[in-house]
Structure 1
């Protein structure tokens, strides 16, 4: 039998080999700075990649619709795991009694970690690298993510809630889009005989034009088509509304041509924000509609 002290010494040696030397405060700060710089460079490179082709751009819009992340973090996720659908850190997965598959590589993003004061007296935000994991990396047979499916009733209630424009049905429609916003009349016109998908898809798009018209004084439908239809696409994807016409993505290279990386990121942020402004109103409308239904059920059951 092996000497007990020999066995103990071997185990101690293995433990010592596995131990990482403790970093000093300065070394740790440098390590974090280097990781941050790497992620900033990765996001910058991915910004150019996103607008390099219609396919990449549409893939990025799909990712925006699934993740509630900043543009920078969405770019980082796309660079590492573009098919991601639901991201949480290890602590949150474990809190739900779900565990990461052995050997899975974490996805690095940047998390706010307090403020700092600049030399001019203004304040900025510090960011620290953080690892998150996708639902596809979790060891479970449980379905963790289900793609949204269009709910006709919810979408009608949400889209028309607190509308700032009128809606009018037209029995005859002389060409053009079967759902169309007129800024002069402050009205969305829609043709008769549309399928629920056509109607809701059209309303989602046109309400994005309405929101753009409210926020910007230089509204021009043709000039701003790419911007608004990008937002409308994200909005539809978020609520599971199929989009038949995605030809707008073919204009991506021309639209972003000559822009600096920071300007591209800013523009992507504006596109995301426009979608979120419409989405917030839709969510309020759906919530209010459900509240009213609950009140009606309670009244009936009394």
Structure 2
């Protein structure tokens, strides 16, 4: 039998052999460029009300994505609605259109041990494409058939504190989270959308207070306001009354770490409330028809 192993000896010249250090340096530079882009976008977003609202709109569309990835999507493909990597679109039966370039987000990699003994997670740059860059047909999602009562019941599903209705509230507020009494008061007689807007904001206060041992209402008012906006955008409640033209001074002038912490608090709080709503709506959809009367 002939031996052909020798044909591989000269297939790749020695000078083209894999350089692990050079590859690691390229990857690190690629990651750093992505982090720099996210930081620059965050600085723009936190300094301008219109850009901040655009960021919230992007976060509402990609509510399961991290703050950093939403900032990256906003910076590179602000009109994106559905993203996958090359293999993801291939598995979905679609291909990337000619001359379309992917954009970068971050995905979790391996865990590692820091010098102080704590465990961290490394992140890798991942190239993705929006559906508009592919041959996939944009599917018009049918409107979710959720009546107002069902949506409101989902909003208050397993709340972090009890909810109690009252005839009136100070300043004609629609709802109010009382931190001392650990209860949310809701004014009777409001319409469905007013209930959703006001109660979602107070649920946000209660949610934040549950994880903040030094909770102060005024300090968290902006975050709760943004959470309410995100929930309204996701569930189709009118947001015409929300105003981000002037961002709070403490947020606008805060350092990068503080601003990122606020953005993360907004994202995580909205995600927690939305997760409960999704469970409630899913449970509702699985109930036998005869029970829906």
Same topology, TM > 0.5: yes
Query: What is the aligned counterpart of 1:58 among 50, 53, 61?
Result: 53
Query: What is the aligned counterpart of 1:44 among 33, 39, 48?
Result: 39
Q: How does 1:1-40 map to 2 (within 5 A)?
A: 23-40=18-35
Quote the residue 1:101 is aligned against: 97
Q: Please, what is the CA RMSD of the aligned residues?
A: 2.8
CA distance 1:174–1:254, change in 2 (3 Å): closer
Q: How does 1:139-154 map to 2 (within 5 A)?
A: 139-143=135-139, 151-154=147-150
- Asked if 2 retains the 8 angstrom alpha-carbon contact of 1:173 and 1:191, the reply is no
Deviation at 1:101, TM superposition (A): 1.8
Quote the residue 2:186 is aligned against: 189
Structure 1 counterpart SS, 2:128 = strand
Structure 2 counterpart SS, 1:189 = strand
Deviation at 1:182, TM superposition (A): 3.8
Which range is displaced more, 57-66 or 207-216?
207-216
Query: What is the aligned counterpart of 1:274 among 261, 269, 273?
Result: 269
TM-score normalised by structure 1 residue count: 0.80
TM-score normalised by structure 2 residue count: 0.82
Q: Deviations over 1:125-154 (max 9, x none)?
A: 221111111122222444266787875243
Structure 1 counterpart SS, 2:245 = helix
Deviation at 1:48, TM superposition (A): 0.4
> How many residues matched?
275
Quote the residue 2:251 is aligned against: 256
Gaps spanning 5+ residues in structure 2: where? 1-15
Q: Deviations over 1:1-29 (max 9, x none)?
A: xxxxxxxxxxxxxxxxxxxx775322222
- Asked if 2 retains the 8 angstrom alpha-carbon contact of 1:197 and 1:241, the reply is yes
- Asked if 2 retains the 8 angstrom alpha-carbon contact of 1:226 and 1:251, the reply is no
Q: How does 1:226-265 map to 2 (within 5 A)?
A: 226-247=222-243, 249-252=244-247, 254-265=249-260
Q: How does 1:87-236 map to 2 (within 5 A)?
A: 87-143=83-139, 151-163=147-159, 164-168=161-165, 170=167, 175-184=171-180, 186-192=183-189, 194-236=190-232
Deviation at 1:42, TM superposition (A): 0.9
Q: Deviations over 1:229-260 (max 9, x none)?
A: 0111112212222223212x234251324422
CA distance 1:23–1:127, change in 2 (3 Å): same
Distance in 2 between residues matched to 1:22 and 1:82, nearest whole Å: 40
Distance in 2 between residues matched to 1:142 and 1:188, nearest whole Å: 43
Deviation at 1:118, TM superposition (A): 2.7
Deviation at 1:109, TM superposition (A): 0.9
